[in-house]
């Protein structure tokens, strides 16, 4: 690996850590880069997941104030996400590498669609929040229901298996089924996605499939990116960032299909 490739991976890790905290689709920046550098999709996915753990931790910590008074519910949701992450990570290790390579382009297209649709989902949640405030005297956070619990567990499986745009799915679920306060939903999203990430990373480490050079470079970058993302997440325009994410995902899918 030459110095330019090392720098590119570290920078991509920083951007991914920030994007995961703000939008929830940072994997769409690091994964395509690793594949473009000649890393197999399976190794890229596993090493990327491990490398993004520090960013998940710093991003979740940065939103701790939004979750004050709700940590009990968040902990229960995190347990469901952890279960899903363990299942998804295990599926990666037992699946045929060729099967994983065949599935990933479709997951990239799905993730791109979810990232593109996020503004509409957020707008719908805001409109729904306005109706709830009128109907429930300002109460915007509800108990954890069975439907949301199942959705969180299923999203954890997806996150453990691949993870791109897992945060987009989670913030949609949380905004609809738990809290219409988008800042609170985003804080919980960071905790739940981070939990699935940590658990699946532990599965991958135990399986001995991690490229530690790649994981280490992404880890350093993502830790910094998570801090930056938590600080600037409410102030930067997301339109250009989201457009870049969608474009990168579709290009990566096309490269895997036709490469």
Domain boundaries, the chain: 3-258
Cα-flanking dihedrals φ and ψ of residue 141, to 5°?
-125, 130
CA nearest to 89, candidates 198, 221, 239: 198
Calpha distance 257→259 (Å, rounded): 6
Task: Please tell me the pTM assigned to this model.
Answer: 0.80
CB 93 within 8 A of CB 203: yes
Q: Which of the 8 DSSP states describes residue 144?
A: P
pLDDT tens string 31-84: 999 999 999 998 999 999 999 999 888 888 888 888 888 999 999 999 999 999
Three-state SS for 215? Answer: helix
Q: What percent of the chain has pLDDT over 70?
A: 86
Average pLDDT of the residues in 159-181: 82
pLDDT tens string 207-235: 888 999 999 999 999 999 988 887 776 56
CB 178 within 8 A of CB 141: yes
CA nearest to 57, candidates 162, 194, 256: 194
Taking the alpha carbons of 89, 91, 97, 100 in that order, is the dihedral positive or negative? negative
Using a 10 angstrom Cβ sphere, with 0-12 exposed, 13-18 middle and 19 or more buried, the burial of residue 68 is exposed
Please list the residues that pair with 179 across neighbouring strands: 141
Q: What angle do CA 128, 134, 139 make, to 5 degrees?
A: 80
Using a 10 angstrom Cβ sphere, with 0-12 exposed, 13-18 middle and 19 or more buried, the burial of residue 134 is exposed
CA nearest to 55, candidates 220, 246, 239: 220
């Amino acid at each position: 690996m030459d110095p330019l490739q090392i720098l590119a991976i570290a920078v991509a890790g920083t951007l991914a850590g920030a994007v995961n905290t703000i939008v929830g689709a940072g994997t769409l920046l690091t994964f395509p880069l690793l594949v473009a550098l000649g890393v197999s999709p399976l190794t890229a996915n596993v090493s990327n997941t491990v490398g993004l753990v520090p960013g998940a931790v710093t991003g979740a910590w940065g939103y701790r104030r939004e979750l004050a008074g709700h940590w009990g519910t968040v902990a229960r949701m995190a347990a469901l996400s952890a279960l899903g992450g363990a299942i998804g990570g295990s599926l990666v290790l037992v699946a045929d590498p060729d099967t994983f390579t065949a599935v990933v382009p479709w997951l990239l297209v799905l993730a791109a669609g979810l990232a593109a649709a996020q503004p509409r989902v957020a707008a719908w949640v805001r409109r729904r929040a306005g109706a709830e405030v009128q109907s429930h005297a300002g109460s915007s956070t509800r108990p954890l229901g069975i439907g949301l619990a199942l959705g969180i567990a299923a999203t954890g499986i997806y996150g453990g298996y691949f993870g791109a745009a897992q945060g987009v799915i989670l913030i949609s679920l949380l905004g609809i089924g738990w809290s219409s306060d988008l800042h609170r939903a985003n804080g919980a999203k960071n905790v739940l996605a981070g939990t699935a990430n940590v658990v699946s990373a532990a599965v991958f480490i135990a399986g001995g499939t991690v490229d530690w050079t790649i994981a280490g470079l992404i880890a350093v970058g993502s830790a910094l990116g998570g801090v930056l993302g938590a600080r600037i997440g409410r102030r930067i325009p997301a339109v250009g960032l989201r457009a870049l994410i969608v474009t990168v995902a579709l290009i990566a899918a096309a490269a895997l299909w036709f490469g």
